[in-house]
Amino acid sequence: MMFTMFHLTRTLAIALAFAAPASAQQPAARIKIDTDRVIGEVDPLLFGNFTEHLGRCIYGGIFDEGSPLSDAAGFRKDVMAATRDLGVTMLRWPGGNFASGYDWTDGIGPRDQRPPRRDDAWGALESNRFGTDEFLTYCERIGVTPYLCINAGLGTVDMARKWVEYCNEPGDTALARMRRKNGRQQPWNVKYWGLGNEIDGPWQLGHKNAEDYATFALEAAKAMRRADESIKLIASGSSNFRPGYDWIGWNRTVLEKLKGEIDYISLHTYIGNPDNKFEKFLAISRDLDDRIEVVQGQIKAAQLTAPNPRPISIAFDEWNVWYRARGGSEFEIGRTGLEENYNFEDALAMSMFLNSFVRHANVVRMANLAQLVNVIAPIFTNKQGMYLQTIYFPLAEYAKQKNRQALDVQVESPQYKPDGGRALGYLDVSATWDPRARTVFLNVLNRSEKMDLATRIANVEGRISPQAGVWQLYHDDLKATHTFGDDRKVRPTEKTVTLAANGNALSYTFPKHSLTILKLKLAD
């Protein structure tokens, strides 16, 4: 009887929490919070980034030898400070498409003796003055976790195995001696290794079908673990979502063959607004959610047939807005390929991605924005200085929510159907919970171009303090951009407000085309 009464009481509480307020004006939307509905912990690695030998990301971006803005090692000090403030937790390197033609041995030893090579991934000349030891030193300097991606295109199993040994071997082997000769006495202890990049894409050097890739990756994984059994491995999952390509079949084959060796399977997605339709642009969250949930199901299916299933997560290790800037084919260092000038609507798209990752925190445990500097990036430099692009600010604010508990919130809002796909609500929402501070962080993207949305925010059990912190990103002009000396137009505002309260619910109006993060304190 007590069991029945408990559930009856709780059901009534939930119903009352989500009921309309006793006022003449109905809210346009409703959000219900229940701190018992925990999805999982927001992994710090969700706030990773990516650096590739492409355009001015490395040379002239994070690494600029001889510049008065660089330190003695050649690292741009202004970029390092901006990266720390961005909250970056992980860096992926050296690619990207570049990885599929890269020989890591070209990038070690005295810089002046390293061989310059053609980069046939991006049509450039690679000096190899920035290599493994420079990258890993950079990660140490800025306090982030390194993630190395092997050459699974034109490379070999033995190249991958030896790279792990060079980085991580503590003993007295030839490769460990070589590392020490190059200035690093102790092992780098690189934990995260990608088994290639976008091998499903026909644009990739060394492109393979699923069966051939899985065979190669399995042998590489086994050999790399012989060099260091403690490493974590990321399989090359779906990146080719072009019509007619069986991306689901690719993942199925990879998971079935590698399920005993890998810790992650990757997904890559780039989005754009070539039609100049704002609401359609921000409806892409349906694809993000669908792809994550399909792969989550595939992981479960693969594990069901394993006697001792290995935990496997999703690494969304390339994602961004990218559709305007495309590279040329000239061979020169420092060319300005893939340099997107981001606007305000692109900044809102950052929250669409991050909301999806948080809503799937139980399976998406790594994500890497592509890329860090200049190349489709939040940080932009020239020889005199740098500026912050519009997308920088939501990335930095969401990163503060790492290690919190992601909550499964219920949302009702007016719906729209911007294309031939299914309808979706104007409010795109995620939430995290800090139980020690008893604070909920409610991340709300209003993707209506013209409509403010009055919203009732209810908590299932307990009162929400009407004093709330508000972080908000809003601009009248969806196309507002930044440039050198003018990067303050699209900036967040922060304030504390007192919201209208009604029992255990509050009211808040989310402005049209805006991102709002409410910091809500719950009563003990």
Burial of 1 (0-12, 13-18, 19+ CB in 10 A): exposed
Residue ranges of the domains in the chain?
20-40+406-521, 43-278+313-402
pLDDT of residue 297: 98
pLDDT of residue 171: 97
| 6: pLDDT strictly greater than 60 | no
Better-scored residue on pLDDT, 118 or 504 = 118
Burial of 31 (0-12, 13-18, 19+ CB in 10 A): buried
pLDDT of residue 27: 72
For residues 69-82, average pLDDT? 98
pLDDT of residue 502: 86
For residues 298-307, average pLDDT? 94
| Other C-beta atoms lying within 10 Å of the C-beta of residue 49 | 27
pLDDT of residue 26: 58
pLDDT of residue 1: 35
pLDDT of residue 16: 38
Confidence band for 447, pLDDT divided at 50, 70 and 90: very high
Q: What is the mean pLDDT of the chain?
A: 93
pLDDT of residue 178: 98
Comparing C-alpha atoms, which of 74, 200, 175 is closest to residue 127?
A: 74
pLDDT of residue 336: 62
Q: 20-40+406-521 is classed in which CATH architecture?
A: Sandwich (2.60)
Confidence band for 462, pLDDT divided at 50, 70 and 90: confident
Catalytic residue (one of 52, 126, 169, 198): 198
SS3 401: coil
Distance CA 147, CA 216 (A): 20
Identify whether the C-beta of residue 78 lies closer than 8 Å to the C-beta of residue 71: no
For residues 448-472, average pLDDT? 95
pLDDT of residue 420: 77
* Residue corresponding to tokens 């999982």: 40
For residues 504-517, average pLDDT? 96
For residues 219-240, average pLDDT? 97
Domain 43-278+313-402, CATH homologous superfamily name and number: Glycosidases (3.20.20.80)
Burial of 303 (0-12, 13-18, 19+ CB in 10 A): middle
E strand spans, 24-84:
29-33, 38-41, 48-50
| 83: pLDDT strictly greater than 90 | yes
| 242: pLDDT strictly greater than 70 | yes
SS3 81: helix
pLDDT of residue 295: 98
pLDDT of residue 148: 99
pLDDT of residue 227: 98
Distance CA 115, CA 350 (A): 39
pLDDT in tens, 323-374: 998 754 433 444 567 999 999 999 999 999 999 999 999 999 999 999 999 9
Q: For the chain, how many residues are written?
A: 524
pLDDT of residue 335: 54
Q: For residue 182, what is the enclosing H or E element? A: none
Verdict on whether the full-model pTM lies above 0.75: yes
For residues 247-260, average pLDDT? 97
pLDDT of residue 23: 36
% the chain with pLDDT above 70: 93
Cα–Cα–Cα angle for 387, 391, 396, rounded to 5 degrees:
90
% the chain with pLDDT above 90: 88
| 314: pLDDT strictly greater than 90 | yes
pLDDT in tens, 362-400: 999 999 999 999 999 999 999 999 999 999 999 999 999
Max Cα-Cα span within the chain: 81
Q: Picking from 71-75, 109-113, 194-198, 303-307, which range would have the lowest pLDDT averaged per residue?
A: 303-307
Q: Is 340 a catalytic residue?
A: no
For residues 71-93, average pLDDT? 98
Confidence band for 60, pLDDT divided at 50, 70 and 90: very high
pLDDT of residue 51: 98
Long-range contact list for 222-230, CB < 8 A, 24+ apart? 222/261, 223/157, 223/158, 223/160, 223/161, 224/150, 224/160, 224/161, 224/164, 224/193, 225/261, 226/161, 227/161, 227/162, 227/164, 227/165, 227/168, 227/169, 228/164, 228/165, 228/168, 228/169, 230/191
Distance CA 207, CA 213 (A): 8
pLDDT in tens, 86-97: 999 999 999 999
| 262: pLDDT strictly greater than 80 | yes
Confidence band for 61, pLDDT divided at 50, 70 and 90: very high
For residues 252-258, average pLDDT? 97
Catalytic residue (one of 52, 126, 134, 318): 318
pLDDT in tens, 123-153: 999 999 999 999 999 999 999 999 999 999 9
pLDDT of residue 286: 95
| Other C-beta atoms lying within 10 Å of the C-beta of residue 420 | 5
| 12: pLDDT strictly greater than 50 | no
Q: Which two tokens stand for residue 290?
A: 């669908």
For residues 418-440, average pLDDT? 94
Q: Is 330 a catalytic residue?
A: no
Q: What DSSP line would sit under 105-157, residue for residue?
A: GGGSS-GGGSPPEEETTTTEEE---S-HHHHHHHHHHHT-EEEEE---SS--H
pLDDT of residue 327: 56
| 427: pLDDT strictly greater than 80 | yes
| 19: pLDDT strictly greater than 90 | no
